[in-house]
Amino acid sequence: MAVKFGTSGLRGLSSDLVGSVSALYATAFARFLLEGNLVSAGGCVVVARDFRQSSPEIAATVMAALTRAGLTPIDCGTIPTPALALYGAAIQAGGIMITGSHIPADRNGIKFYRPDGEIDKQDEQTIVALAASLEDDAEANRVERGSGANHEAEATDLFLARNFATLPEQALAGMRVGIYQHSTVARDMMVKVFEHFGATVFPLGRSEQFIPVDTEAVSEETVALLAGWTDELALDTIVSTDGDGDRPLVSDERGTPLRGDLLGLISARFLRASLVATPVTSNSGLEADGHFTVVRTRVGSPFVIAAMNEALAAGQTGVLGFEANGGLMLGSDFDTGTAVLKSLPTRDSFLPALAVLATARQTGQSLSALANAYRMPMALSDRLENFAVERSSALMAHLRQSTDNMTRFLAPLGGVKTVSDIDGLRITLDDGSVVHFRPSGNAPEMRCYVEAPSFEEAKTLLKGGLQLLDNWQS
């Protein structure tokens, strides 16, 4: 089967997910919920989708499969993933989000939620085993169009109410905020939220065609758009998200995107967190900040959530997590001073954007000045698309095979000082700079992350790292 679980959810080509595969996995998920006593027979599963061309058809197939399996689908329309998760938790329902997030438009995915939050890696294995056991079952693979009662308005209102309570009234008054709407399902909610706090909002770049926006590796074309709008409209910032609204993009007053892990750091300070769980790809400056304990994980929200749960089980309070893409997860409840935000252990793009803008407003700083005040190592990342999974697997095996292989491969960039193998290969070079090679968990892509003292040094290192990857032949 051409689909598989990646760092967050089931992913594959849209052509592979449309049809029997989505019916099969929805049936397997229904079995998982029922056999695990997570939802009773006849219980609810909330379903939402992004704006990809294939998403409505997949959602309809999924809802039909849920109905056949004895559950009640609730159609939440096109809302952000964190809004779906919040609503599912509120009504104690399972959840399915049809989205490929930031990956190319010819791909799609399915994210699964228990009533208490995202499924974990063990849950994934259970669902895969159930799907395998049902692969020859005609009923489980039957493709038909289903539907459910429409609760999009209720889910939207609940999520807006949570965000409206995050800051004091008029907390962003006087700020000029652009909202890059493109094709994200968060585009209209974002306008409402920032207008609610008194910002002058400029909706920008709305598209009826799906545009994949990767907030962890923002394209040069997107950066140019942001810079042009910022200059033309004298904006303080531009805010956006990926396709399903769980990863934030926040630019400064020059249109330069802020790193997602910096958004996470500022959010952790804003919320006065005690412990932060974050993947190995996040900036090494987090530990140097000293305001909280840092626990490093593999890449992917299930690993971050597992680390948060472990900390909570040990009695830790003030627990949150974030990824290098900026998606913020609350393991604990947090008091913002205006409200208590209940835990929401799934990626959210709204809270980090609000936390960063509120911090800038409170300190009287521009976004660029705020970013510079943290003095983190300069971190950049990018990816090579259409990098076959077989090729990336062969490269990683070659580098792990011997120290000599690693040394020869990295020689054009510098000598190897230390190597971390938590997720991919993160190499600290002799001069203290970092280069991290990691195959994508959900697409035929090879990612490269770097850290260096200055932007120019990081840019040079990133270019060199990508060139090494591109030139490598097995």
- What's phi and psi for 345, nearest 5 deg? -80, 60
How large is the C-alpha radius of gyration of the chain?
22
- Beta carbons of 335 and 345 less than 8 angstroms apart: no
Query: Is 240 marked active-site?
Result: no
- Beta carbons of 443 and 3 less than 8 angstroms apart: no
> CA 350, 422, 7 angle in degrees (round to 5)?
45
Angle between helices 121-133 and 20-35 in degrees, nearest 10: 120
DSSP single-letter state for residue 256: P
Catalytic residue among 8, 54, 55, 101: 101
Q: Tell which residue, 142, 140, 81, has the closest CA to residue 345.
A: 81
- How far apart CA 259 and CA 264 sit, in angstroms, is 9
Q: How far is CA 245 from the centre of its chain?
A: 8
Residues whose CB is less than 8 angstroms from the CB of residue 382 and which lie 6 or more positions away in sequence, other chains included = 217, 447, 448, 462, 466
Is the Cα dihedral 138, 141, 145, 151 positive or negative? Answer: positive
Question: 9 to each of 97, 124, 221, 225, 350, how far by Cα in Å?
Answer: 9, 8, 28, 30, 21
Q: How far is CA 312 from the centre of its chain?
A: 22
Active site residues: 101
